[in-house]
Structure 1
């Protein structure tokens, strides 16, 4: 399998239409005018994915910036609902069971885990600007400190936009 080409900062982020745990469809275009933190994670209710979701849930500076946070994995609606309820996640978890969108954005494909090459979901985060363009991507996310890095990237981008205006 060939991995999708990487999106570059400044490029339009691909539109998506994915359901959350309640069956509500979410699209990038419905969040136009807001920063969107689209984080891709391998599996609901696993240790690393739980830490990541809870960090996004608890990160006050990120919440104060008003960014929309969306998680995406291949898990189904039932799994997402249970995970979100168990950890009181205040943001939508989107389901891409066949990984079509994940493949399109390069977040599914070959990865190395404990020295073994496998195929699967890659833990990645995409910061999408109010104009629908990619601001920054993190392609090999380490959970520790990640929410801070995302908040700092939003602040830096806002400051850059203000100085250019």
Structure 2
């Protein structure tokens, strides 16, 4: 399916201004999955989108985890908090898998010119750093090992 890259980039910019980073990530994912090389601006938009999506989910996870630990006397409330935390964790895992898919694109970096190569490496490092922050917050060592195996 052909996408209109210009339209998706403009949509991503609008989403950024509206602080709708999930929408921004969706638009930039479409651009990244197109068969053309990303411009510096497109790589930056992709980075901003995923950085904010992961950051928001990490914050949500920490808040719900804290609430879950503080809920006393009501098993029903604890169960609801636990279920909601698990929903957030699934969303984070999905985002993580998307980031790992972009990381797989590193194998194709040898075909890029020098400027694109440097920009792509910077983007991948930023995404990897955000992923590392999230996994440190969200999972114990066992969960991280299971995630890395997939």
TM-score (norm 2): 0.23
Bigger relative contact order, structure 1 or 2, given CA contacts below 8 A and separation 6+? 1
Give the structure with higher Rg (CA).
2
Compare the two structures and name the one with the higher strand fraction.
1
Compare the two structures and name the one with the higher helix fraction.
2
TM-score (norm 1): 0.21
